[in-house]
Amino acid sequence: MAFNAGDRAIAPGIPDVQVFTSSGTWTKPAGLRAAMVEVVGGGGAGGGANGAASGQNSKGGGGGAGGYSRKLYQASALNATETVTVGAGGTGVSAAAGNNGVDSVFKVQTGSGGLSGSYSSSNATPFGGSGGAGGAASGGDVNATGGAGCFSWGNGTLGVSGAGGSSYFGAGGVGKSSSVANASLVGAAGNNYGGGGGGGLTTGNSTPPAAVAGGAGGTGAIIITTYF
């Protein structure tokens, strides 16, 4: 949890920025005129992959990014303390779809968590799986849905996992690809606040590779900029 602005002196007229990456309590500083609050939900995890059979592959779609909300509050609209709820990113699961991201909340604002990418079991026939939807947002002066995760695709010779969706703060985890037999690639974690995790990927041979998890979604955040 970030420190509170009231814990130290602030030069008059200089905005102060606090970034909360875990839940806690915000304390309204003396002399506050207004506060800009940005809320982003946790990113969804990428889908996992199982131990692919020879000539086959298994892959996960990318997780969706968390939704983003921004609102300007006048000092009179803020209590002496306010609860800050920061949503975690979804965790990846081996050989299964991962977990969804968790909502972040500040007063009337919500940045919903992104959804997990799909899981596609071992197969040689050309096919793919869907990415997770991005989280919605509400309560702000500006509300933006998180980016959706990319789909996965593969056939008997090539497998491609989905990249995670981009949040307001940047790209999600990258997708993975391989045409080499017996690859076992864990999904890439979501980058930035609220980015979706990338999907996992396996390609098989006579000895099936180990199942892998999709990448975890990026944690949500609440960013409070105070003006004096």
Per the structure, the count of domains in the chain is: 1
Residue 9 in any domain: the answer is no
CA 121 vs CA 50, 84, 182, 217: distances in Å: 6, 39, 15, 21
Residue 214 in any domain: the answer is yes
What pLDDT score was predicted for residue 42?
Answer: 98
pLDDT by residue for the chain (228 residues), tens only, comes to 343 433 334 445 678 999 999 999 999 999 999 999 999 999 999 999 999 888 899 999 999 999 999 999 999 999 999 999 999 999 999 999 999 999 999 999 999 999 999 999 988 888 889 999 999 999 999 999 999 999 999 998 899 999 999 999 999 999 999 988 888 999 999 988 999 999 999 998 878 899 999 999 999 999 999 999
Residue 160 in any domain: the answer is yes
Residue 6 in any domain: the answer is no
Q: What is the domain extent for residue 216?
A: 15-25+35-228
- Backbone phi, psi, residue 75, to 5°: -55, -35
Place of tokens 């396996």: 202
The sign of the dihedral angle between the CA atoms of 87, 18, 74, 168 is: negative
Residue 71 in any domain: the answer is yes
Residue 2 in any domain: the answer is no
What pLDDT score was predicted for residue 12?
Answer: 54
Residue 5 in any domain: the answer is no
What pLDDT score was predicted for residue 124?
Answer: 87
Answer yes or no: are the C-beta atoms of 227 and 32 closer than 8 Å: yes
What pLDDT score was predicted for residue 67?
Answer: 98
Measured distance CA(1)–CA(21) in Å, rounded: 6
What pLDDT score was predicted for residue 188?
Answer: 98
Answer yes or no: are the C-beta atoms of 213 and 61 closer than 8 Å: no
Nearest to 135 by CA among 126, 144, 127: 144
SS (H, E, C) the chain: CCCCHHHCCCCCCCCEEEEECCCEEEECCCCCCEEEEEEECCCCCCCCECCCCECCEEEECCCCCCCEEEEEEEHHHCCCEEEEECCCCCCCCECCCCCCCCCEEECCEEECCCCCCCEEEEECCCEEECCCCCCCEECCCEEECCCCCCCEEECCCCEECCCCCCECCECCCCCCEECCCCEEECCCCCCCCCCCCCCCEEEECCCCCCCEECCCCCCCEEEEEEEC
Residue 10 in any domain: the answer is no
What pLDDT score was predicted for residue 9?
Answer: 41
